[in-house]
Structure 1
Amino acid sequence: MKPVLIFGATRGVGLEVAYRLRGRNQSVLALVRPNSEPAPLKTLGVEIIPGDAVCSGDVERAFMALGTGGIVISTLAGRLDDGTYVDETGNQTVIDIARRYTPERVVLVTAIGCGEMMPYRSEQAITAFGDVVEAKTRAEDSLRTSGLPYTIIRPGGLLSAPATGRAILSTKPTIHGMITRTDVACLIERVIDEDNSLGKAFAAVDLDHSRLDPDPSKDSHAEPLTP
């Protein structure tokens, strides 16, 4: 199995991915900010590279540790003191450096409502998350045009609960729903093993906690990713 470099591994989906991959004895590296808590990652046997994803030098060191041909996963999110989103600036740095190291794949984790899903957002969602969704979409667009092999995962509303095993990936732009962080990690683990997910963007939701809004132009229904 190829080594995996995770950006955003100290919490949330990123940490759950580290648990999954180390559980199958896959080599995992993580760029970790000095003020973050690395203890859970160290316990898992993750190789820690100190640094910040908005610093190109730190990201470069992380890619040097990974080497060529590895897998990159980014779950970066958050807002900097100047008001900019790490979702865009951090991921842009990762994408720029990745182009020099020819990774096997870059998996970018954003959110439902990004990209071609934007026209189908509710007014409530636009009011609450409009700016960050736009920042995440710009990161997606940058990855799509980078020439890198990629997969984009757009989780629905994130839940802190055990995995249900009922999570699906869908390319339908009108799908909405919730999903546990653990189930997102399970889907990412699956995606990095499947060539048929390359060059695609998927919404990630729980089958029992999702809905598909009508799309007048298409006969829409939720479809899981075919193994």
Structure 2
Amino acid sequence: MAACTVIFGARSGVGLHLARLLLQARVPVIAMLRPGTDAAALEAMGVGITRGDAFVRDDIEATLDLAGEGGAGADGFDVVSTVGGRHEDGRFADEDGNINIADATAARGVGRFVLVTSIGCGEMAPYRSERAIAAFGAAVDAKTRAEDHAWRVLPFATFIRPGGLRSEPATGRGILSEDAQMHGFIHREDVADLVARALRDPATQGRAFAAVDADQAHSVNTIEPFPLAR
């Protein structure tokens, strides 16, 4: 097990839930938050906080330096990014921020790298509906470009692509699937659980998965969940 996990995008949603799950498993967590962002919830859980912007490579480097100073050992430390959103100048953190994170991670000896993106990325793109393209197409395309870059510099990376996100409590029915035509919904807490389990399962390295709730999953193909380790 890696000495700690660095989360980019832990202020809320999947990242926040993931931090809680990792700490419950006694895995130390470091999270980089933007300056001025409320860190109270994370600090109360015991997360180590750094301040920085995903658009600034030096900020990411400083956060990873801190993780490395913790005596990461041969297995290094794990890195997870759930970063998204758009800068006022039009740049997508989904693309530029995650590319910066991937590049900084590739320069170090890390254990695992997991990038949380979206259903519709990569080889799933041809199966997007016109409605999805109109609503989220630009952001999903930005995430795809980040995935493509991450796999070039981190061939062992894992991509987890949630379907439509819901904020209700976890159902415990989240699944991963390599079916490019998969779509559906999933709760944020269940995505966090899948990420935490993927970090522990070396069979997920170098692969991309849709993440959906088993009871809210749809595909023209037979639904065959990836046998993710508990």
Q: Shorter chain as normaliser: what TM range?
A: over 0.9
How many angstroms apart in 1 are the aligned matches of 2:133 and 2:144?
13
TM-score, reference length from structure 1:
0.95
The ranges of structure 1 where at least 4 consecutive aligned residues each deviate by more than 6 angstroms after the TM superposition are: none
Pairing of 1:99-178 with structure 2 (within 5 A): 99-178=106-185
1:42-80 Cα deviation digits (max 9, x unpaired): 001001011111111110001101116100000000000
How many angstroms apart in 2 are the aligned matches of 1:210 and 1:155?
11
Matching residue of 1:8:
9
Q: Say whether residues 1:78 and 2:79 are aligned partners.
A: no
Structure 1 residues 132 and 197, CA gap change in structure 2 (3 angstroms): same
Q: Which amino acid aligns with 1:224?
A: P
How many angstroms apart in 2 are the aligned matches of 1:166 and 1:83?
36
Say if 1:87 and 1:139, in contact at 8 Å, map to a contact too: yes
Q: Could you tell me the percent identity over the aligned residues?
A: 47
Matching residue of 1:56:
57
How many angstroms apart in 1 are the aligned matches of 2:155 and 2:8?
17
How many residues align? The count is 221
Matching residue of 1:43:
44
1:137-183 Cα deviation digits (max 9, x unpaired): 00000011113421100000000011101110000001110000000
Gaps of 5+ in 1: 215-219
Gaps of 5+ in 2: none
Q: Say whether residues 1:210 and 2:211 are aligned partners.
A: no
Q: Which amino acid aligns with 1:8?
A: G
Root-mean-square deviation (Å): 1.0
Matching residue of 1:180:
187
How many angstroms apart in 1 are the aligned matches of 2:134 and 2:155?
32
